[in-house]
Amino acid sequence: MTQLPALTLVLGGAASGKSRFAEQLCQHSGLTKLYVATAQVYDDEMAQKVAKHLTQRGTGWKTVEAPVDVGAALVQATPTDVVLLDCATLWLTNVILGEYDLEAEITRLMAALANCAAPVVVVSNEVGQGIVPDNALSRRFRNAQGGLNQTIAAQANLVVAVMAGLPLTLKGTVPQ
């Protein structure tokens, strides 16, 4: 049983092992596991990805779907829970494509994270290390994701980057 900080951010590229690392942090906490899912399934590829994540996580998780209103999911958490929010990148996609007020939604998300009764582990993609996207929407998304990651990292007690399945601690100390 390990004690997690109030807020942990786990960053990485696609298929980097970030979700698996975040799941392990939650598993080792010994707390009741609450999975806040931001994905929306619109095609077979996403359905397969969700199924893979379900299998990878295993049993013992309560799942709450929250494509945009993460705060409503986080208020369900108690101090005996640990929350895995997977992932901030899909949440941001839902906010941008749903044409929500981006600044207002980020403010709401950050307040919900700060006020959650349980420790929260947030998974997010690092999207700024590739080429500059060739269209305005993609550039807007990349910039918004970078800003969101920086905002969460500033509030987080622990920030871990995962590459090739290997964690690199950027801020704080990974509980043992």
CA quadruple 91, 93, 98, 100: dihedral sign: positive
Q: Which amino acid is at 174?
A: V
3-state SS, residue 33: strand
Q: Which of 69, 79, 83 is nearest to 34 (CA)?
A: 83
How far is it, in rounded angstroms, from Cα 117 to Cα 53? 25
Active-site positions read 53
Helix (H), strand (E) counts: the chain: 6, 7
How far is it, in rounded angstroms, from Cα 111 to Cα 150? 15
